[in-house]
């Protein structure tokens, strides 16, 4: 995580003049500390000016990013404990494998073949190029890192979606209302998803507003809607795991504890599809009832 630290034009001018006169950066930091500036802030500002000069890049104008110290993630007991099978909404879901850190389950028989085929056909006419939330602006932009096509279902949008919402919410052991609407993605040959986290970073106004409304994302379930001829694994590089996409199976993982810490062990990616295509269904769960920006405006909630 990082914090934006602002500084005055006068301080910037003094730093430039002092560095031009070959004053040691450590002496500049000490002078700023003597003027009652926080030592970490002083070092961050001086380091930013020194690095910009070394790289012959633009100097900071009025702010720098201060990286916050990262506390070691503390694991709670998993929301969904590992066991051989789950009976959810009249369906038996089998557990093929599990990891402890991050809490992760590879699941079989989450969806049946007919459900997968129907989801693909319902999604197909609504697909658009996938976007991601730009960390700086908070706006949705077309992704160069996720070369896929996607769409979203509303909670309970039709009978099939309502049934799967109930089943997957029960499987993830959180209230149905905490779930974001299903996302369906289609990856063509060569398409992939670069390594990323599913939890939200409070680095822009849109994410901060979403976190205030609904809390952090806490868990993800990725279900595979078809068998991929070659490639397309969901990989977790920090734990050395790759999950093969097989129709009806899923991978479930958690990444936020009760203190709001997020787990960087949950870093994951989609390997390139080498042959055929790949269809996936994703469900994200929040700490509280999920309220979209549009719904918040309609309900007159804060933004």
pLDDT per position as a tens digit, 69-116: 666 899 999 999 999 999 999 999 999 999 999 999 999 999 999 999
Number of domains in the chain: 2
How confident is the prediction along the chain (303 residues), in pLDDT tens digits per residue?
A: 567 788 899 999 999 999 999 999 999 999 999 988 888 889 999 999 998 888 888 888 888 877 766 668 999 999 999 999 999 999 999 999 999 999 999 999 999 999 999 999 999 999 999 866 555 455 555 555 557 999 999 999 999 999 999 999 999 999 999 999 999 999 999 999 999 999 999 888 899 999 999 999 999 999 999 999 999 999 999 999 999 999 999 999 999 999 899 999 999 999 999 999 999 999 999 999 999 988 877 776 544
pLDDT at 171: 98
- One domain, residues 34 and 138: no
DSSP summary character for residue 115? H
Query: Is 75 a member of any domain?
Result: no
pLDDT per position as a tens digit, 261-282: 999 999 999 999 999 999 999 9
- One domain, residues 56 and 188: no
* Whole-number Å distance between alpha carbons of 231 and 249: 16
- One domain, residues 249 and 185: yes
* Whole-number Å distance between alpha carbons of 208 and 220: 20
* Percent with pLDDT over 90 in the chain: 76
Which residues contact residue 48 at a Cβ distance below 8 angstroms, ignoring those fewer than 6 apart? 60, 64
- One domain, residues 149 and 293: yes
How many beta carbons lie within 10 A of that of residue 195, not counting itself?
A: 13
Structure-token pair, residue 274: 């080498």
Which has the closest alpha carbon to 169: 51, 286, 263? 286
Query: Is 227 a member of any domain?
Result: yes
Q: Are 80 and 100 in contact (CB under 8 A)?
A: no
* Whole-number Å distance between alpha carbons of 300 and 114: 40
Query: Is 98 a member of any domain?
Result: yes
Structure-token pair, residue 41: 């802030």
- One domain, residues 49 and 125: no
Percent helix, strand, coil in the chain, to 5, is: 30, 30, 40
């Amino acid at each position: 995580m990082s914090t934006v630290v602002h500084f005055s034009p006068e301080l910037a001018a003094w730093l430039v003049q002092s560095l031009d006169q070959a004053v040691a950066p450590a002496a500049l930091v000490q002078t700023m500390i003597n003027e009652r500036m926080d030592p970490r802030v002083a070092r961050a500002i001086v380091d930013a000016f020194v690095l910009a000069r070394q790289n012959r890049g633009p100097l900071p104008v009025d702010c720098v990013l201060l990286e916050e110290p990262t506390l070691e993630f503390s694991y709670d007991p998993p929301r969904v404990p590992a066991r051989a099978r789950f009976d959810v909404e009249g369906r038996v879901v089998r557990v093929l494998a599990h990891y402890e850190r991050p809490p992760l389950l590879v699941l079989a028989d989450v969806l049946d073949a007919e459900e997968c085929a129907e989801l693909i056909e319902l999604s197909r006419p609504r697909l658009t190029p996938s976007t991601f939330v730009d960390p700086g602006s908070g706006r949705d932009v077309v992704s160069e890192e996720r070369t896929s096509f996607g769409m979203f279902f509303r909670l309970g949008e039709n009978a099939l979606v309502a049934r799967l919402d109930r089943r997957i919410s029960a499987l993830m052991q959180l209230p149905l209302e905490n779930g974001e609407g299903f996302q369906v993605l289609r990856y063509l040959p060569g398409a992939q998803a670069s390594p990323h986290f599913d939890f939200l970073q409070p680095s822009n106004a849109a994410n901060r507003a979403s976190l205030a409304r609904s809390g952090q994302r806490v868990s993800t379930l990725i279900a595979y809607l078809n068998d991929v001829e070659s490639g397309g694994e969901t990989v977790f590089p920090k734990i050395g795991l790759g999950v093969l996409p097989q129709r009806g199976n899923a991978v479930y993982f958690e990444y936020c504890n009760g203190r709001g810490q997020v787990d960087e062990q949950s870093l994951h990616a989609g390997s390139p599809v080498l042959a055929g295509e790949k269809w996936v269904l994703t469900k994200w769960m929040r700490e509280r009832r999920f309220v979209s920006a549009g719904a918040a405006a309609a309900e007159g909630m804060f933004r």
